[in-house]
């Protein structure tokens, strides 16, 4: 069975994809709270860490995409 190398399995995600991932993690947290899984501290800690990292990645990607689109529309910023 083919196993991709680490570099092959990494890909750049758009801000839209990262936002979708973040929303899915929030839904997972809500489900954990509804089903009682939220009482498992290690699970919730890992989930919160994933949410925090996904949020940071989403914000970074969104800012980068906005700056890129702005540059395409108005040219480079000088000064």
Burial of residue 58 (CB within 10 Å: 0-12, 13-18, 19+) is buried
Does residue 32 belong to any structural domain of this protein?
no
Does residue 31 belong to any structural domain of this protein?
no
Q: What is the pLDDT of residue 78?
A: 73
66: containing domain: 40-71
| Cα–Cα distance, 61 to 18 (Å, whole number) | 8
pLDDT tens per residue across span 27-75: 999 999 999 999 999 999 999 999 999 999 999 999 999 999 988 898 8
Residue 62, Cα to own-chain centre: how many angstroms? 10
Q: Domains in the chain: how many in total?
A: 1
For 64-74, letters b (16+ CB in 10 Å) and e give eeeeeeeeeee
């Amino acid at each position: 069975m083919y196993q991709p190398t680490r570099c092959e399995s990494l890909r750049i995600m758009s801000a839209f994809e990262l936002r979708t991932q973040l929303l899915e993690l929030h839904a997972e947290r809500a489900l954990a709270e509804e089903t009682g899984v939220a009482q498992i501290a290690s699970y919730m800690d890992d989930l919160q860490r994933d949410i925090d990292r996904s949020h940071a990645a989403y914000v970074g990607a969104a800012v980068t995409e906005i700056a890129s689109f702005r540059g395409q529309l108005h040219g480079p910023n000088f000064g």
